[in-house]
């Protein structure tokens, strides 16, 4: 067995762990950081996206060098309604994420293909017996015990497609629910990359965590056929299952990921309760850690526990929104809440995405044709 010393050990080289390492390296380059990932590459095989209004200026500065694609606005399409929204929309690929981290950090600071088998607030044991002594440890390996939360699931399968000819998509399409929704709560996302190349993703909300890759793939092919597009080839596929938290006890979930150990990302319960997306949270957490002077295990645990606990408490409204959308309506009508949401004022929509709704916003969403019935907002 061999020993390694560092100021900060981050377990998990996905979005949350990688952004913490990147931000900490930029802000405190004199300190030694280790990023430990069980897979051969950092970030897996993903295409992450975010709306410009989701994050603040500091988070944008962290994310912008990682961006592969950007569009000046995005659109939503529903059976009876469509709209373009004047907010930039960005996507970043995991291969660029991996490349940027390796450019920013010394080679010896990134340990890929190394699995952690033992974790404490100030140490990590790897599968090969290597012992890492750290001033502090952050565990960002993905979700803890999800059975402790009341969950629904957002499932997605997407492919970058090359077509035989040009397509007609001119802006990022966040939601295309124009097709018959009778089979359930589902929609497509489309991102134009070049005149003959675009990314299409099939998204659905369901109560169970299994994913049918063949069915998703068939829906993507059928969606392209609706527009008369012929697919020449496909590449850079991705698939995932995101938890949608409708309820649960935060501290029970936090402790299930390791008592006394600092946590980030899904392991900390930091994801949007309606969309399941975690990119904005990952960027905020990264800057929080990077700006801290005390990286001891106890200090990091308190910093990140308190940050995640505040976020969980502040997001109760969004869990109520998701609960009504997914359980208060027939399964094929959940998209109608999103349609009602996207008929609202554009700035209110931006605040919804960024989880910055005020009381006046919430009341507006519950009045008239708003998406959130007053009884559901009040939890009755």
In contact, 318 and 379? CB cutoff 8 Å = no
- 340 domain-assigned: yes
Q: What is the CA radius of gyration of the chain?
A: 21
- 355 domain-assigned: yes
- 338 domain-assigned: yes
In contact, 36 and 126? CB cutoff 8 Å = yes
- 342 domain-assigned: yes
Q: Which two tokens stand for residue 303?
A: 């910093």
- 358 domain-assigned: yes
374 phi and psi, to 5 degrees? -60, -40
∠ CA 207-312-54, rounded to 5°: 85
What DSSP character marks residue 14?
S
Alpha helix segments (H runs only) across the chain: 15-27, 57-63, 94-104, 213-226, 250-256, 279-290, 297-314, 316-327, 334-341, 346-353, 359-366, 374-377
In contact, 282 and 19? CB cutoff 8 Å = yes
- 191 domain-assigned: no
What's the number of domains the chain is made of? 1
- 183 domain-assigned: no
Residue range of the domain that includes 367: 316-377
- 55 domain-assigned: no
pLDDT tens across the length of the chain (380 residues): 356 799 999 999 999 999 999 999 999 999 999 999 999 999 999 999 999 999 999 999 999 999 999 999 999 999 889 999 999 999 999 999 999 999 999 999 999 999 999 999 999 999 999 999 999 999 999 999 999 999 999 999 999 999 999 999 999 999 999 876 667 899 999 999 999 999 999 999 999 999 999 999 999 999 999 999 999 999 889 999 999 999 999 999 999 999 999 999 999 999 999 999 999 999 999 999 999 999 999 999 999 999 999 999 999 999 999 999 999 998 878 888 999 999 999 999 999 999 999 999 999 999 988 899 888 887 65
Task: Give the other-Cβ count within 10 Å of 183's Cβ.
Answer: 12
Strand partners, 25: none
Task: Give the other-Cβ count within 10 Å of 86's Cβ.
Answer: 12
């Amino acid at each position: 067995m061999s020993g390694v010393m560092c100021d900060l050990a981050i377990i998990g080289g996905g979005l949350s762990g990688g952004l913490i390492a990147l931000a900490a390296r930029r802000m405190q380059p004199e300190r030694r950081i280790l990023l430990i990932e069980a897979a051969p590459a950092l970030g897996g095989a993903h295409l992450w996206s975010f709306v410009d209004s989701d994050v603040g200026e500091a988070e944008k500065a962290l994310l912008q060098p990682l961006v592969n694609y950007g569009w000046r606005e995005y659109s939503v399409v529903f059976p009876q309604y469509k709209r373009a929204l004047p907010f930039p929309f960005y996507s970043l690929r995991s291969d660029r994420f991996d490349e940027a981290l390796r450019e920013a950090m010394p080679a010896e600071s990134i340990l890929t293909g190394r699995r952690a088998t033992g974790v404490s607030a100030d140490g990590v044991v790897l599968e090969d017996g290597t012992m890492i002594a750290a001033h502090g440890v952050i565990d960002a390996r993905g979700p803890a015990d999800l059975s402790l939360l009341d969950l629904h699931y957002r499932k997605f399968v997407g492919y970058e497609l090359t077509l035989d000819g040009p397509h007609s998509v001119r802006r990022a399409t966040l939601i295309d629910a124009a097709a018959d929704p009778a089979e359930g709560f589902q929609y497509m996302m489309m991102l134009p990359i070049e005149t003959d190349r675009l990314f299409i993703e099939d998204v659905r909300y369901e109560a169970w965590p299994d994913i049918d890759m063949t069915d998703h793939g068939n829906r993507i092919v059928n969606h392209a056929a609706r527009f008369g597009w012929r697919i020449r080839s496909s590449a850079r596929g991705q698939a995932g299952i995101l938890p949608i938290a409708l309820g649960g006890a935060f501290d029970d979930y936090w402790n299930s990921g390791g008592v006394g150990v600092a946590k980030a990302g899904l392991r900390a319960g930091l994801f949007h309760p309606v969309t399941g997306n975690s990119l904005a949270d990952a960027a905020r957490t990264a800057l929080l850690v990077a700006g801290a002077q005390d990286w001891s295990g106890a200090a990091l645990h308190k910093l990140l526990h308190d940050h995640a606990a505040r976020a969980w408490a502040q997001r109760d409204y969004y869990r109520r929104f998701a609960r009504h959308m997914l359980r208060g309506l027939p399964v094929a009508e959940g998209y109608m809440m999103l349609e009602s949401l996207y008929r609202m004022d554009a700035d209110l929509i931006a605040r919804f995405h960024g989880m910055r709704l005020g009381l006046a916003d919430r009341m507006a969403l519950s009045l008239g044709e708003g998406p959130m019935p007053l009884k559901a907002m009040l939890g009755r």
